[in-house]
Amino acid sequence: MTTRVRSLLVAAVALLLAAGGPAAAAPAEPATPTTTVFSLVPAPGFPAYVHVHTNGRVYAGTYTDSGSSAPSKVFEWSSDGTLLRSWTLPAQRLDADHGVQVANQTRSGRLVLLETSTASVRTLDVRTGRFRTVARFPDGAIPNYATWGPHGDLYVTDYGDGVVWRLPAGSRKPERWFESPALEGAIEFGTTGIRYRPGRGDLVIAQQNASDGSTLPTNGHLYSLPVKANGKPGELATLWTSQPGDLPDGFGLGRSGHLYVALAGLANQLVELTGTGEEVQRIGTALTGDNGSDIPFDTPCSATFLGTEVLVANQSAIAGDASHQAILAVDVGERGRAPYLPKSAHF
């Protein structure tokens, strides 16, 4: 989720109230998972996607709006939540909304970063602390989440435009790989999480709301988009439609095939879906975000597996409550599938 979300969430509240409020969630039959605090996130706060590295450590970046000149940081934790190191991001436009998403990693272990103020793909070598700029997107693009796909291509969602970018293997020039009105969000809410499912050969893509007329503009979606053998996109299909104002964001994939989606909007919940998009349960109390831990869900914006726990980045985008800006751990009782990382995942 980008820094723009704070003002947009206020607009979403107004839209939802006008529509009569959120629909009631179906009662959940599974036992309520236990939620604990993995770690607080130091200043400048506003954590984004949590990446669990193949080295066993955990990484997350931070976002800062144009009212702050504090540069973004990348933090590193051990698997038990101990803060180990941090790196300050260089060459940001500090007079604009600026943030860094630790979106993925290369096969060799470098972090893949998406920086918003310069609309760039960068890498960070955690052994040397060296940053490298790999590619830049056109003006106006807001790179948000990224996944490796077949043939070593990197697919990137754009929060500011209805497009999925592809950075072909060996290229430094992103291409507009897929465009659809379904990815053009209403009141500027955009496209968020993306994961490649090699068993199904598709990309799962989260959209916070849609302006294509398929549903109410306050409803979000999870889509399935096949990647054909020739590298071209197939036909976009809806896996799941959210309740009004949910704002689905980042998500994790369990070994069962279930999807665990962070709802960054009014719901303040984590929702579990089957691989075909049927809702299983909602974790946390709607609106309040109460989850049984010391910190409620407060703009949860991503979900990543570490063992049987789903790590959730708590951004507190509206309130800006530093005591809520944390990574929470939700024990869902199954292990996750690591993000797809082919041998060709490098730049």
- Per-residue pLDDT tens, the chain, 347 aa: give them: 544 444 455 455 445 444 444 444 444 456 789 999 999 999 999 999 999 999 999 999 999 776 788 999 999 999 999 999 999 999 999 998 899 999 999 999 999 999 999 999 999 999 999 999 999 999 999 999 999 999 899 999 999 999 999 999 989 999 999 999 999 877 668 999 999 999 999 999 999 987 777 777 789 999 999 999 999 999 999 999 999 999 999 999 999 999 999 999 999 999 999 999 999 999 999 999 999 999 999 999 999 999 999 999 999 999 999 999 999 999 999 999 999 999 999 99
Residue 339 within a domain: no
* CA pair distance 263, 248, nearest whole angstrom: 5
Closest to 17 measured CA to CA, from 266, 289, 318: 266
Residue-level pLDDT at 213: 73
Residue 177 within a domain: yes
CATH of the domain at 21: 2.130.10.10
Residue 18 within a domain: yes
- Return all residues near 197 (Cβ < 8 A) that are at least 6 apart: 203, 204, 253, 340
Do 327 and 81 touch, CB atoms closer than 8 A? yes
* CA pair distance 118, 63, nearest whole angstrom: 13
Residue-level pLDDT at 20: 45
Residue-level pLDDT at 211: 72
Residue 100 within a domain: yes
Residue 346 within a domain: no
Q: How far is CA 343 from CA 3, 148, 174, in A?
A: 33, 10, 21
* CA pair distance 325, 194, nearest whole angstrom: 23
Do 286 and 267 touch, CB atoms closer than 8 A? yes
Residue 337 within a domain: no
Q: How far is CA 198 from CA 151, 280, 321, in A?
A: 12, 23, 38
The helix or strand, by DSSP H or E, that contains position 16, with its residue range, turns out to be helix 5-18
Residue 340 within a domain: no
Range of the domain at 217: 5-305+319-325
| Domain total of the chain | 1
Residue 345 within a domain: no
44: cis peptide before it, omega within 30°?
yes
pTM of the shown model:
0.93
Please write down the long-range contacts of 272-277, taking CB distance under 8 Å and 24 or more positions apart: 272/30, 272/332, 273/222, 273/239, 273/240, 275/200, 276/239, 277/222, 277/238, 277/239, 277/240
Residue-level pLDDT at 28: 44
